Chains A and B, each alone.
Chain A
Amino acid sequence: MQMNEPPTLARLLGGDRRAIAQAISTIENDATGQDDLSRALAPHLGRARVLGITGPPGAGKSTLVNALLGEIVARDLSAGVVAVDPSSPLTGGTVLGDRARMGEHGGHEHVFIRSLSSRGHAGGLARRADRIVDVLDAAGFDVVIVETVGAGQSEVAIDALADVRIVACPPGLGDGLQAIKAGILEIADVLVVTKADLPGADAAWRDLADMLRLRREGRTKVPVLKTIAAQREGIAKLVDAAFAHVDATGRGQRLRTRLPHESARERMAPDTTQDESAPDRVTRLASRDPFAGFLGIECIGGGAGCATTRLRIGARHINFNGGCHGGAIFALADTAFGLASNSHGRLASGIEAHVAFHVGVREGDELTAHATQISRGNKLATYRVEVTRSDGKLVASFSGTVYVSARGHAG
């Protein structure tokens, strides 16, 4: 096979598509050299206007991005897009479908689109998405658009990622609005009512405008716009509003936001800086758990703050009623909980756990437990574990708290 000429930093900075793509892969795959790459890019950052787009699932974010791309290329500007889709917590697999809705401009020579799987990372953002935005910024795109997983409140992480944060709200969300208003609406620099041709758009617009009036004084005025992306309506206004915000606060605002965030996180939980070694640690800890081994529980993966375990229900897991013993399910969830909470390298001991069983389990079923971190402070951390059957049914929900000791693990 013929070898490519190696992509160089100069080619990346010159906007070479393959060099950009490979730089992103280097970061995405956590490959060696990414720190050097990030250092090399640092002097070239803060040139692009970075637009973050977030909102609940079905808000029409991808369609909105497609319309924005049309407007941006019509203004003779170039755009790089990072579109984040959630990955399955069970298999890690994803169908990255955002691109399908951006197909109209995906082939344009001034457009670069990259799909990212969230790979289980909380906060709606793929791991190191900020560094991937940096690559597109350094590559010379006039505008970089980051579209994040529609998940709700946890998307505040977009703060350190974009210079202007656009929150998309579809009409008819009703009480759903309650769920997001405390989280992502608070961080919005521009609010957009999408699908404004649908009934309820005016009501949604009024709700948002009213809500803004309740916010604390002294903040910049947040425009509330309406768009019908499929017909290009309101798109030029949205681009104007987004650019106006970036130009008022200055490009590269995200870089200034990032630093205090990172240091604050480190103050809270110094052990999370060792995330790179987390997957290996989870595997190692799992391999020396005699009780899990006794029950037949295997660990099938993990990382910083998360772990997945699996158990095939055999005759020895059955109770007197002929169903699976609740203790077996608890132990499966508890093992994932223990591995996730100990993944950061500091000794964590469970102090409280709760389980709810939803459906019955029989001999021969295969159960998977996936533990994710909800919060982590210096002393206490909480985790949620979902146990599912191979047909996708939620079998049990588990939550637990650990006390985090200052010590590391023995051995």
Chain B
Amino acid sequence: MKIVPKVLVTKIGLDGHDRGSRVVAAHLRDAGMEVIYTPPWQAIDAVVKLAIEEDVDVIGISSLATDHRIVPKLMRALRDADVTGVAVIVGGIVPDADEAMLLDAGVARVFHPGASLDDIADYIRSIVPAMREARSVTWETWHE
């Protein structure tokens, strides 16, 4: 069966520059994905709750003004909530020196200025099957 990737496109922190996240959301929609879009300024706990309830494959964080530095907090909150099988990607302005810090924290991939929209969509498509597999439940597990 064809998998329709489910992607959360959001922004955490105090920066309100949301044009980038809107462009990415629209492109992923046109690439055939189901996109949950939120306005900026989301609380980390709210993002975790949303990711669980919507059962998303990917969380895309847009960061244009240093909000990427709190992404490790998000990664910790996801771990604390036992969220597995969900990839976190970050796009926007991330200094090279900070990229390693994000990858260390468990971020799957960082997209820098100049990254093509198609590359983002292709990357998401390439990782979704593994995410689905990791979150999959079978009928047997419905029983105690």
Whether A1 and B84, one on each chain, are in contact in the complex, defined by CB atoms closer than 8 angstroms, is: yes
Whether A91 and B32, one on each chain, are in contact in the complex, defined by CB atoms closer than 8 angstroms, is: yes
Whether B34 and A93, one on each chain, are in contact in the complex, defined by CB atoms closer than 8 angstroms, is: yes
What's the nearest-Cβ distance from chain B to residue A41, in Å? 9
CB-based nearest B residue for A280 = B1
What's the nearest-Cβ distance from chain B to residue A96, in Å? 5
Kindly list chain A residues whose C-beta atoms are within 8 Å of the C-beta of B138.
32-33
Main secondary structure of the interface of B (DSSP, over half): mixed
Q: Mark A2-25, 1 if CB is under 8 A from B, else 0.
A: 111011111010000110111111
Whether A107 and B45, one on each chain, are in contact in the complex, defined by CB atoms closer than 8 angstroms, is: yes
Cβ-based interface call for B52 (8 A): yes
Whether A93 and B142, one on each chain, are in contact in the complex, defined by CB atoms closer than 8 angstroms, is: no
Whether A37 and B139, one on each chain, are in contact in the complex, defined by CB atoms closer than 8 angstroms, is: yes
Whether B55 and A36, one on each chain, are in contact in the complex, defined by CB atoms closer than 8 angstroms, is: no
Name the interface residues of B1-37: CB closer than 8 Å to any CB of A.
1-2, 4, 25-26, 28-37
Taking a contact as CB atoms closer than 8 A, the residue among B26, B38, B141 that contacts A103 in the complex is B38
Whether B26 and A40, one on each chain, are in contact in the complex, defined by CB atoms closer than 8 angstroms, is: no
- Beyond A18-B52, A29-B1, is A91–B29 a contact (Cβ under 8 Å)? yes
- Beyond A1-B84, A96-B35, is A17–B25 a contact (Cβ under 8 Å)? no
In angstroms, Cα B85 to Cα A409, docked, is 41
- Beyond A30-B1, A91-B32, A100-B39, is A25–B142 a contact (Cβ under 8 Å)? no
Kindly list chain B residues whose C-beta atoms are within 8 Å of the C-beta of A1.
84-85, 134
Q: Mark B27-65, 1 if CB is under 8 A from A, else 0.
A: 011111111111100110110011011110000000000
- Beyond A1-B85, A1-B134, A107-B43, is A9–B37 a contact (Cβ under 8 Å)? no
In angstroms, Cα B82 to Cα A4, docked, is 7
In angstroms, Cα B137 to Cα A37, docked, is 12
Whether A93 and B53, one on each chain, are in contact in the complex, defined by CB atoms closer than 8 angstroms, is: no
Whether B50 and A94, one on each chain, are in contact in the complex, defined by CB atoms closer than 8 angstroms, is: no
Cβ-based interface call for A272 (8 A): no
Cβ-based interface call for B144 (8 A): yes
The listed residue with most A CB atoms (<10 A of its CB), out of B4, B31, B53, B84, is B53
Taking a contact as CB atoms closer than 8 A, the residue among B28, B43, B46, B52 that contacts A93 in the complex is B28
In angstroms, Cα B52 to Cα A20, docked, is 9
Whether A97 and B37, one on each chain, are in contact in the complex, defined by CB atoms closer than 8 angstroms, is: yes
Whether B25 and A33, one on each chain, are in contact in the complex, defined by CB atoms closer than 8 angstroms, is: no
Whether A8 and B143, one on each chain, are in contact in the complex, defined by CB atoms closer than 8 angstroms, is: yes
Cβ-based interface call for A51 (8 A): no
What's the nearest-Cβ distance from chain B to residue A397, in Å? 22
Whether B141 and A6, one on each chain, are in contact in the complex, defined by CB atoms closer than 8 angstroms, is: yes
Taking a contact as CB atoms closer than 8 A, the residue among B1, B43, B54 that contacts A114 in the complex is B54
Kindly list chain B residues whose C-beta atoms are within 8 Å of the C-beta of A25.
55, 135
Whether A4 and B43, one on each chain, are in contact in the complex, defined by CB atoms closer than 8 angstroms, is: no
Whether A9 and B54, one on each chain, are in contact in the complex, defined by CB atoms closer than 8 angstroms, is: no
Cβ-based interface call for A153 (8 A): no
- Beyond A22-B55, A100-B39, A115-B54, is A93–B49 a contact (Cβ under 8 Å)? no
Q: A91-B29, A115-B54 are in contact. List 9 more A-B contacts (CB 8 A).
A: A3-B84, A4-B135, A17-B53, A18-B82, A25-B135, A33-B142, A92-B4, A95-B37, A279-B2
Which residues of B approach A to under 8 Å, CB–CB? Answer: 1-2, 4, 25-26, 28-39, 42-43, 45-46, 49-50, 52-55, 82, 84-85, 134-144
Q: Give me 28 A-to-B residue pairs in the complex whose CB atoms sit less than 8 angstroms apart, sorted by A's number.
A: A3-B134, A4-B135, A6-B137, A7-B141, A8-B142, A9-B144, A17-B49, A17-B53, A21-B52, A21-B54, A22-B55, A22-B135, A25-B135, A88-B29, A92-B4, A93-B30, A93-B32, A94-B29, A94-B34, A95-B25, A95-B37, A99-B36, A99-B50, A99-B54, A106-B49, A107-B46, A107-B49, A301-B2
User: Nearest 3 pairs between A and B by C-beta?
Assistant: A33-B139, A6-B141, A93-B29
